[in-house]
Amino acid sequence: MDNNLVFLFDLDGTITAEETLPKISKYFGIDAQIDILTQETLNGNIPFVESFIRRVDILKQIPVSDINNLLEEVRLFSVVVHFIRQHSNQCYIVTGNLTDWIEKLVSRIGCGFFASKGEVHNDRLIKLTEILKKEDVVKQFKKQGKTVVFIGDGNNDSEAMRESDISIACGLTHYPANSVLSVADYAVFSEASLLRLLHQIQSRQPGKSVILSCAGIGSRLGLGQTKALIELHGKKLIEIQLDSFRKMEDVRIVIGFQSNVIIQTVLKIRTDVIFVYNHDYFQTKTGASFYLGARHANEYAIAWDGDLLVHPEDIEKCLSFEGEYIGCSSIVSDDPVYIQTDADGQAIAFSYDSGVFEWSGPACLRSSNVKYVVDNVFNQIEELLPLTLLQIRARDIDTYEDYKNALHFTRGWK
Ligand SMILES: [Mg+2]
């Protein structure tokens, strides 16, 4: 386990299963004023600091202890709280909320915290004295040499997430703010996937992860959308892939172009996927996406391109094969990347000129062997050769001609 790690959690909507402010305002009958302010703030239309000052001003009328008592009862995500308690010396809550409002709630969770401060007199808030800038907390830990992981969902988390070493957009209560998604390394939408990811960041976990690369713009195909969203026989490619991986616990989807549409499509099918951002999707290829997906993946990472179609009878073989391998097929493409083999049938080189097989993917590698490349997965694999070859029936969809072939290839699949 990496003891140099520090986990910083936003409070509202990340640890609490309901936003605290609407709860306060509803309880004390001031919803109308507060709701508009909250929504506008979450949407990023009112700067956080201005919104916070205005909110505090409205809430000043309520005794501080009343808010403190009310928030102590707020519903929490039990799985998140459990993780925090188990690692309480590495976890902190970082919230813009006022210390005097959340002290009881935080002590119930059981870790250190950073919050805004105010001057209280006779149980009434007199004035604000400090508005917490979450990014300052991140910088402070980084100065101490810590590796900072930030988990948040709101607009006021985005700067802190940008400064963090690893940032997780958390969609447990509501869809994360756009500003958060635009800097996040990961996005998760269930407690199961958040917990799995936190453990993976802490230390390499046993087992396999599937890394499905869906970040590209699909320019050669020319259908104007990322390949994951094109349809074959009435089913989106991403739906076909998820069906193939339904038995795999750790499915990681690397997203870039049209990421929100992909997320929405996936969440209708399963919510425990870990989304990995390749923000540089226009300049990089699947090798970069695989690297990002494998960064905190389980011991073995299976590289699976979003447009790779494997015959149903061969999928199980790809997912359960023990150890490292690379997938190949007989020569089926117009413009293949060939695989050259040695006398034992091991893959020893890729070639544009000749070979017995065609590189098709997938590939299963030890995650720790996956290095960063800007181009293709096979460029990444080259220095790891020789590797075991796994022969399968597969197609990919690079061009419109490939698409038509794939329609033919997949006809009659269950
Ligand atoms: Mg929040």
What is the 8-class DSSP label of residue 369?
Answer: G
**High-pLDDT (> 70) share of the chain, %:** 99
Beta bridge partners of 341: 347
- Whether residue 288 is contained in a domain is answered as yes
- Cα 34–167–94 angle (5° rounding)? 45
Examine the domain organization and report whether 212 and 185 are in the same domain.
no
Rounded mean pLDDT of 88-98? 96
Whether the predicted pLDDT of 8 surpasses 90 = yes
Examine the domain organization and report whether 180 and 227 are in the same domain.
no
Examine the domain organization and report whether 377 and 255 are in the same domain.
yes
What is the CATH classification number for the domain harbouring 215?
3.90.550.10
Examine the domain organization and report whether 185 and 162 are in the same domain.
yes
| Residue that terminates a domain, selected from 192, 226, 242 | 192
Beta bridge partners of 187: 169, 275
Examine the domain organization and report whether 110 and 225 are in the same domain.
no
The answer to which of 149-163, 222-236, 342-356 has the lowest mean pLDDT is 222-236
Whether the predicted pLDDT of 222 surpasses 80 = no
Distance 13 CA to ligand 1 centre (A): 5
| Residue that terminates a domain, selected from 140, 171, 192 | 192
| Residue that terminates a domain, selected from 144, 164, 192 | 192
Rounded mean pLDDT of 126-138? 95
Q: Say how many domains are in the chain.
A: 2
Distance 262 CA to ligand 1 centre (A): 23
- Whether residue 334 is contained in a domain is answered as yes
CB–CB of 301/363 below 8 Å?
no
- Whether residue 26 is contained in a domain is answered as yes
Examine the domain organization and report whether 27 and 74 are in the same domain.
yes
Q: Nearest Cα to 26, choosing from 57, 65, 72, 62?
A: 62
Distance 352 CA to ligand 1 centre (A): 51
**In terms of residue numbers, what domain contains 260?**
204-410
At 366, give phi and psi (nearest 5°): -65, 130
Distance 211 CA to ligand 1 centre (A): 28
- Whether residue 126 is contained in a domain is answered as yes
Examine the domain organization and report whether 127 and 254 are in the same domain.
no
CB–CB of 195/234 below 8 Å?
no
At residue 1, the pLDDT reads 67
- Cα 293–299–301 angle (5° rounding)? 40
Examine the domain organization and report whether 124 and 227 are in the same domain.
no
Q: Kindly report whether the peptide bond that precedes residue 386 is cis, defined as omega within 30 degrees of 0.
A: yes
Q: How far apart are CA 243 and CA 168, in angstroms?
A: 26
At residue 150, the pLDDT reads 98
Tens of pLDDT, residues 166-176: 999 999 999 99
Residues 6 or more apart from 312 whose CB is under 8 A from it?
244, 413, 414
Q: Please tell me the pTM assigned to this model.
A: 0.95
Distance 126 CA to ligand 1 centre (A): 25
Distance 294 CA to ligand 1 centre (A): 28
- Whether residue 199 is contained in a domain is answered as no
The DSSP annotation for 181-229 comes to HTT-SEEE-SHHHHHHHHHHHHSPPSSEEEEEEE-S--TTTTSSS-GGG
Distance 156 CA to ligand 1 centre (A): 8
Radius of gyration of the chain (CA): 24
Q: How far apart are CA 68 and CA 72, in angstroms?
A: 6
Q: What SS3 class is residue 330?
A: coil
Q: Nearest Cα to 294, choosing from 316, 309, 274?
A: 274
Examine the domain organization and report whether 188 and 208 are in the same domain.
no
At residue 62, the pLDDT reads 93
Amino acid at 133: K
At residue 400, the pLDDT reads 84
Distance 152 CA to ligand 1 centre (A): 6
220 — pLDDT class (breaks 50, 70, 90): confident
- Whether residue 178 is contained in a domain is answered as yes
CB–CB of 308/396 below 8 Å?
yes
Examine the domain organization and report whether 222 and 339 are in the same domain.
yes
Highest mean pLDDT among 49-53, 258-262, 393-397: 258-262
Distance 264 CA to ligand 1 centre (A): 20
For residue 93, give Cα distances in angstroms to 80, 133, 163, 322, 372: 12, 13, 16, 41, 33
What is the CATH classification number for the domain harbouring 174?
3.40.50.1000
Q: Which residue has the higher pLDDT, 372 or 217?
A: 372
Examine the domain organization and report whether 344 and 287 are in the same domain.
yes
- Whether residue 402 is contained in a domain is answered as yes
Examine the domain organization and report whether 145 and 233 are in the same domain.
no
22 — pLDDT class (breaks 50, 70, 90): confident
Distance 18 CA to ligand 1 centre (A): 10
Rounded mean pLDDT of 98-107? 96
- Whether residue 197 is contained in a domain is answered as no
At residue 414, the pLDDT reads 59
Angle between helices 237-244 and 312-320 (to 10 degrees): 60
